[in-house]
Amino acid sequence: MAEPRSLRWPIGLLFLASCSGQFGDLPGNDEDGEATAPLCTAIEPGESPLRRMTRVEYDNTISDLLGDDSRPARGFVPEEESLGFNNQAAALVVSPLLAEQYMAAAEGIAARAAGKLLGEAPACREAAGGEACRGEVAALVASFGKRAFRRPLAEDEIADFVALFRRGIALGDAPDDASTGLALLLQAMLQSPHFLYRVELGMPDPVEGDVAPLTSYEVASRLSYLLWGTMPDEALFAAAEQGALGTAAEIEAQARRMLEDPRAREAVKGFHRQWLGLAKIDEIAAGGKDPELYPEYRDELLPLFQAETEAFLDHAIFEQDASVSALFTAPYSMMNRELAEFYGVEGGPKGDAFERVELDPSQRAGFVTQAGLLSLYAKPNRSSPVHRGRFVRQSLLCQIPPPPPDVVPEPPMVDPTKTTREQFSQHVSDPGCRSCHTLLDPIGFGFEHYDALGRWRDAENGIPVDASGELTQTDIDGPFDGAVELAHRLAQSEQVRACVVKQWFRFGYGRAEQSADTCSLAQATQAFEASGYNIRALLVALTQTDAFRYRRLINAGGNAGGNAGGNAGGNAGGNAGGTPAGAAEGEP
């Protein structure tokens, strides 16, 4: 099962490197396009920061763990955002308020679950202080704890929880109150770092330098949270117990199985909500749209807008097995009756369910021309070429426009007799604005056929729309006319494909890519390319990289990246069932 460790340097990453003179970019690339291909002879996992559950992951996990669908995390403090995502390990912090919310949620969940748990410890009903009860509670801690912590517990861990149970039975309303003991035990588990975080220590023995494979249990959790946004299922736990998540092929087989599950569709939805800003569509309600200019606007449209793009991406990726290019060029969308009426689609769906609707391919292409994103990247009273252009640059091309001056000069007054384009041309006449706006506006002008609600228009203020635009500093440079042509151009861009990989990397691994990740990105990109840029293939590829399967051992001094040592003493449970997978695979 030797894997090729030497990979061709994907062309998409080269393009990225070539424009780093202007834009914030992948660290560690050479400035010229002649960069030599990295050899990737050594395993390089990059960083493996401790990851905390997001609110969605918490609620999903509680539901799978206890059948409790109350979704208490909806009331938690929102995650700190970084790189546009809410699951970035470095950004997430726990304030006293959040710690209180964890406590209150754990108390509520435990109150609802304690009765059921008591059913599994019948001896405790008779005599909570007795030996029989103690044995049953120990067994319960071991079996429930393994699912809650997503790994077997060590003997001393079990003993500590049993001790808490015994302390708890004395603190209940009645003497020897077993249900209070169980409730406290559960509360403590649900506030434990082993529940709230994904603790990963890796296998005790490195396979190369200080690099060790993750344990099978750790891989199981990485898979389940990446592809499902929740804890591992029975099959993953069984595979972990058998040590059957050690090889790339075993992991791939699980990933493919998991992608067939509806939970994968939810997780992919979660990615798009954040990457494209779909979750922000309902924030349009804060500003609304100018009722005089857009009397058709109502807040109730916003969830439909969001649902359209989510349903489109879901249909394309999971029903059509779409490639990146199809997401940009598909001449159809998903609508229900109400939305079809908004768009003015004739003969569209008759009910509330979203159905596939074929569209005029000269007016619409893929997600970039859908009403939600066009409304989001617009003003209450007009389109916004700046925001639309920035969306393309920043989210789709992964380029960071240079900063405007720190103190912004007052823009010229708006003239309602002119088109939006003409007004923005005035803005760019100021040399202080021009440096930034020439990178944004010429792309954004391509969307001028869509008003602030994303509806097609041939004219604005009585003047025919000019939607010509220009791409610069990309691998698809040149003039274009309208967003449909732009979308087709983006569909063929290596830079866009590399950006999709990068965005999935950030979301999937909970961190920014760094120079140490060059080979992991190359591994994923190569598989992506081989599949014809198929999105599901990319998801599988994300489970095959060095970054996904390995970590650096933590040394006794508390530094990841040093030599092994700190790990040797502990983790009796964490490593149980894990086989030294990487060692079995053989490195060149």
Partner 1 sequence: MKPFQLSRRAALRGLGGAALALPFLEVMGCSKRLAPASEQTGRAALGAEFPKRFVVIYTPNGTVPPDFWPSSTQLQNGEELSPILAPLKDHNEDLLVLGNVSALSALVGPGDAHQKGTGQCLTARAMQEGDFPGDAGLSCGWADGISVDQEIANHIGTRTKFLSLELGVLVYGAAVGARIAYRGPAQPLPPENSPYTAFDRLFSDLSITPEAATTKSEQRRAVLDKVAADYKRLQRRLGAADQEKLAGHLASVEDIASRLDRGVAPTSAACAAPVLTPDIDPDKVASMPELTRLQLDLMAMALACDLTRVASLQFTNSATTKVLSFLGPDITEGHHPMAHNGYADPANRQRLMKISRFYAEQVAYLIAKLKSMPEGNGSVFDNTVIFWTNEHADGNHLRQNIPYVLAGNAGGHFKTGRFVSQTKQVGHNNLLVSLLQAMGVDTESFGDPKYCTGPLTGLTS
Helix (H) or strand (E) holding 479: strand 478-481
CB atoms within 10 A of CB 5: 15
Binding of partner 1 by 432 (CB under 8 A)? no
Neighbours of 299 (CB within 10 A): 12
Phi-psi region for residue 294, left (φ > 0), alpha (ψ -120 to 50) or beta? beta
> Under the criterion CB under 8 A, does residue 488 sit at the interface with partner 1?
no
Separation CA 201–CA 551 (nearest Å): 8
The DSSP secondary structure of 426-448, one letter per residue, reads HHHTSHHHHHHHHHHHHHHGGGT
Shortest reach from residue 509's CB to partner 1, in Å: 14
Q: Which range touches partner 1 (CB under 8 A), out of 327-335, 357-365, 417-425, 556-564?
A: 556-564
Nearer to partner 1 among residue 130 and residue 287 (C-beta): 287
Residue 113 interacts with partner 1 (CB under 8 A)? no
CB of 555 to partner 1, least distance (A): 8
Which residues 28-87 are close enough to bind partner 1 by CB under 8 A?
A: 49-50, 75, 77-84, 86
Question: Is residue 464 a contact point for partner 1 (CB under 8 A)?
Answer: no
Q: Which of residues 242-281 bind partner 1 (CB under 8 A)?
A: none
- Please list, in sequence order, all residues whose beta carbon lies within 8 angstroms of the beta carbon of residue 382, skipping any fewer than 6 positions away: 293, 420, 451, 452
User: Which residue in the block uniquely carries the two structure tokens 């990105």?
Assistant: 521
Q: Which residues contact 70 (CB under 8 A, 6 or more apart)?
A: 62, 108, 109, 112
Q: Residue 523 burial by CB count (10 A; 0-12/13-18/19+): exposed, middle or buried? A: buried
Nearer to partner 1, 5 or 280 (CB): 280
Q: Which of residues 396-425 bind partner 1 (CB under 8 A)?
A: 400-404, 406-411, 413
Site for partner 1 in 190-229 (CB under 8 A): 191-194, 197, 199, 201
In the complex with partner 1, which residue's Cβ is closer, 84 or 209?
84
Q: Identify which range of 13-21, 156-164, 425-433, 445-453 contacts partner 1 by CB under 8 A.
A: 156-164
User: Between 171 and 530, whose beta carbon lies closer to partner 1?
Assistant: 171
d(CA 574, CA 146) in angstroms, rounded, equals 10
What is the C-alpha to C-alpha distance for residues 474 and 443, in angstroms, rounded to an integer?
Answer: 11
x-or-dash string of contact with partner 1, 276-315, rule CB under 8 A: -------x--xxx-x-------------------------
**Between residues 120 and 290, which has the closer beta carbon with respect to partner 1?**
290
Residue 355 DSSP label = E
Nearest to 125 by CA among 185, 174, 71, 186: 174
Per residue, the 3-state secondary structure of 39-86, as one string, reads CCCCCCCCCCCCEECCHHHHHHHHHHHHCCCCCHHHHCCCCCCECCEC
- Judged by beta carbon, residue 29 or residue 531, the one nearer partner 1 is 29
CB burial string 423-445: b at 16+ within 10 A, e below: bbeebbeeeebeebbebbbbbbb
In angstroms, give the least distance from the CB of 569 to partner 1.
8
Number of residues that bind partner 1 (CB under 8 A): 76
In one letter, which amino acid is 417? T
* 131-148 helix and 155-169 helix, angle to the nearest 10 degrees: 120
What whole-number distance in Å separates Cα of residue 340 and Cα of residue 99? 45
Question: From the list 379, 418, 455, 488, which residue makes contact with partner 1 (rule: CB under 8 A)?
Answer: 379
* Per CB under 8 A, 111 contacts partner 1: no
Min dist CB 282 to partner 1, Å, is 9
Which part of the chain contacts partner 1 (CB under 8 A), choosing from 116-124, 224-232, 343-351, 561-569?
561-569
Q: Which of 1, 39, 94, 572 binds partner 1 (CB under 8 A)?
A: 94
Q: Which is nearer to partner 1, 172 or 348 (CB)?
A: 172
Helix, strand, coil percentages in the chain from 3-state DSSP, rounded to 5: 50, 5, 40
Query: Alpha-carbon distance 365 to 371, whole Å?
Result: 12
Q: Which residue has the tokens 């349009």?
A: 284
Q: Show the beta-strand stretches assigned E in 277-400.
A: 332-335, 355-358
Tell me if 508 contacts partner 1 by CB under 8 A.
no
- Cβ proximity to partner 1: between 189 and 524 the closer is 189
Helix (H, G, I), strand (E, B) or coil at 358: strand
Q: Which window, 10-18, 162-170, 243-251, 526-534, contacts partner 1 (CB under 8 A)? A: 162-170
Task: Between 71 and 257, name the residue whose CB sits nearer to partner 1.
Answer: 71
**Site residues for partner 1, window 165-194 (CB under 8 A)?**
167-168, 171, 173, 180, 184, 187-188, 191-194
Query: How far apart are CB 261 and partner 1 at their closest, in Å?
Result: 30
Which of the ranges 116-124, 478-486, 493-501, 555-563 carries the binding residues for partner 1, by CB under 8 A?
555-563
* Nearest distance from C-beta of residue 479 to partner 1, angstroms: 26
Output the smallest distance, CB 497 to partner 1, in A. Answer: 20
Tell the smallest beta-carbon distance from residue 368 to partner 1 (Å).
19
If the CB atoms of residues 326 and 553 are measured against partner 1, the closer one turns out to be: 553
Rounded to the nearest 10°, the torsion over CA 274, 275, 278, 281 is: 80
- Spatial separation of the C-alpha atoms in residues 369 and 110, rounded to whole Å: 47
530: contact with partner 1 by CB under 8 A: no
Identified binder of partner 1 from the candidate list 123, 345, 560, 583, rule CB under 8 A: 560
CB of 73 to partner 1, least distance (A): 13
Does residue 93 interact with partner 1 by CB under 8 A? Answer: yes
Member of 37, 98, 138, 428 binding partner 1 (CB under 8 A): 98
104 or 530: whose CB is closer to partner 1?
A: 104
Binding segment toward partner 1, per CB under 8 A, in 204-212, 258-266, 379-387, 417-425: 379-387
Amino acid making up residue 87: N
CA dihedral 384, 390, 392, 393 (to 10 degrees): 160
Among 378, 484, 486, 512, binds partner 1 (CB under 8 A): 512
